[in-house]
Structure 1
C-alpha cells in the first residue's frame, strides 16, 4: 500500500488580481504562504519518498514550505547532461530527512496564450462572456494562442504515467504540488471522470487530495473538489 497526495499551490498574486496566470511565474501571497503552512499540517501523516512539481515558482514555493515544516530537505534533481546536472550529484545517498524533488514543464499550468496577464473581466468585455466561459470551462476549447484543457491533459499525462504514478505503483509515497488544470488531468486519470465533468471541477488551494494505492487501484480517501454549474 502507498499514498499519492495532490496539492494545488497556494494563492498567488494574480489569483487575487483575477488575472489569467498560466505560465507567468508569479509568487505566492501572504495568504498563499499560510495555505501552504496549513497544508503541511494535513500532510504530516504521510512519510513521502519523493516529490514532483512544475517549474513555476508558486508551485515550488508551496512544496518547499510543506516539506520544510515537516523537517524535510527538498533536493531538486537536475536531470540530463546540462550545466546544472552536477548540482544533483552527491557523494552519499540521501540522508533520512532529504527528499528528491523532480520538476517538469509537463506539469505546468495550462498555457492561456493571449489571455495570460489579462484581467478576466477585461477578457469578457473584449471577447464576450460566453466565449471566455467556453475557453475556461470547455474541454476542447482553446483561447487564442493557448491550450485547451484537453491539450493540457495530453501534455501532462505521459509524464504523470511514466514518472509519477509508476513510483506510487511500486510502493512509494509521492507528493505532487501543481496547478488547477494539470491536477484536474491527474484526477481525470485516477477517477475515470468524463471529458464533460472534468471541465466543471474546481480544486481548493493548499488542501491535499489523498489517494491510497492498493492492489492495483487508486482510491480517494481524503479531500474533495467542487462542481461548477454546467456550461450554457
Structure 2
C-alpha cells in the first residue's frame, strides 16, 4: 500500500513518535503553546488528511497552551514579534551530493560552523519558542545557534512520547524554568520526502533518468518524484502546521525561531510573502543563513538576513528589537 511505503520512507519519525501525535497542552515555563500534529496518507500522488488524534501531556511546569479560537480585544495594542527562519547547516549527505529528504542525517563540521555563525547573527534577537523538524540536522542547527545567543537561555526539547517520558523530563526549579526556551519538534516541518530518490547520488540520478527529468522532480511545484512528495504536497503540511500552531504564538507576541529545511521553509516563505507557485520554485535558501521577519498587525515584514552582531544595523529593524539589544547590553556589561 502507498501508505505503508510512505511511512517506511519516513521511518525515523516512527521511532521518535512524531507521527500520529496531536493536541499537546504542555507545561513549559511561562510560555503558552498548543500542538496539533496531523497524520497524512499518501494516496495516488496526493497527501490526504487521515485523522486528528488527541493526547494530553505536561512537561514539568513548562506550560504550553494556545488556541486559534481566542477573541481579540479591539482596544488592545497590536503585538509585534520576531520570526526567524533557518535552513539547517550542511549535512553529511549534502556533502556527498545525495538526495536526503526525510532520511535522518547529521551535520558535517562545516554544517556545525554554519549553525554557530547563524547563532551569532541572531544573538541580539529575542527568542521565546523554537520549532524544528523531527530530523537531527535541523535540531542540531537550532541547538548550536542558541549557544551563541547573548541571553543564554537553554533550549529544552519537549518529550511527550508517553507518560513516563513526560514525568521524567519535569523541571523542579522555578528559577531554572525561567531560563529555558521550549523546543517543539514536528514532522510537518520535515524536508519533503524524495521517495525512491532518497540516498541516490544527484549526478548519477541525472545521468540515469536525464537531467531534464530530475530537474522536473526537484524544481516543479506539483510533480513528485517516484513515490515521493511534490513541493505542493510538502507545502500542504508545512503551511497548515505554521498557520495552526506557530502563527497563534506570533499573534500573541511570542518571538519564534524555526529551524527546518529547504522545501518546508520555502513553503512557509511562500505563505509569508504571498508568492505564486511559479515564484516559489525559483526561491533558493542557503544552508545556515537566518531570515528575519517581523510579525505585526497580522502581516509579515521581511527584514532579510540579520547582520553580524557587531554591526549597528541590527538596531534599525524595529524599536522593540533595539530596546531588547539595549537591555542585553545593560545586563551583560
| TM-score for the superposition, normalised by structure 1 | 0.92
Partner in structure 1 of residue 213 of structure 2? 131
CA separation in 2, counterparts of 1:97 and 1:90?
A: 11
Q: Highest relative contact order (Cα 8 Å, sep 6+), 1 or 2?
A: 1
Residues 139-177 of structure 1, C-alpha deviation per residue, up to 9 Å, x if partnerless?
Answer: 001101100000100111221111112101110100000
Q: Helix, strand or coil for the counterpart of 1:159? A: helix
1:82-121 correspondence to structure 2 within 5 Å = 83-93=164-174, 95-121=177-203
- When structure 1 is superposed on structure 2, of 187-196 and 94-103 the one drifting more is 94-103
Q: Helix, strand or coil for the counterpart of 2:84? A: strand
Any stretches of 5+ residues in structure 2 without a counterpart? 1-79, 307-333
Q: Helix, strand or coil for the counterpart of 1:48? A: coil
> How large is the RMSD of aligned CA atoms in angstroms?
1.5
CA separation in 1, counterparts of 2:244 and 2:173?
A: 26
Residues 47-78 of structure 1, C-alpha deviation per residue, up to 9 Å, x if partnerless?
Answer: 21000001111100011111122222111112
Partner in structure 2 of residue 20 of structure 1? 99
Shift of 1:84: 2.3
Q: Is the 8 A contact 1:76 1:88 kept in 2?
A: no
Partner in structure 1 of residue 60 of structure 2? none
Q: Based on CA coordinates, which of the two structures has the bigger radius of gyration? A: 2
1:171-186 correspondence to structure 2 within 5 Å = 171-186=253-268
Matched, 1:219 2:298: no
Q: Helix, strand or coil for the counterpart of 2:200? A: coil
**When the two structures are aligned, how many residues end up with a matched partner?**
224
CA separation in 2, counterparts of 1:3 and 1:195?
A: 26
Residues 79-127 of structure 1, C-alpha deviation per residue, up to 9 Å, x if partnerless?
Answer: 3645423344334555332100000111110100100010001111221
Q: Helix, strand or coil for the counterpart of 2:254? A: coil
**Which of the residues 149, 159, 165 maps onto 1:78?**
159
Q: Helix, strand or coil for the counterpart of 2:177? A: coil
| TM-score for the superposition, normalised by structure 2 | 0.65
Partner in structure 2 of residue 230 of structure 1? none
Partner in structure 2 of residue 11 of structure 1? 90
CA separation in 1, counterparts of 2:159 and 2:206?
A: 40
**Which of the residues 62, 66, 79 maps onto 2:145?**
66
Q: Is the 8 A contact 1:35 1:205 kept in 2?
A: yes
Matched, 1:29 2:111: no
Q: Helix, strand or coil for the counterpart of 1:55? A: coil
CA separation in 1, counterparts of 2:130 and 2:241?
A: 14
Partner in structure 2 of residue 227 of structure 1? none
Any stretches of 5+ residues in structure 1 without a counterpart? 225-232
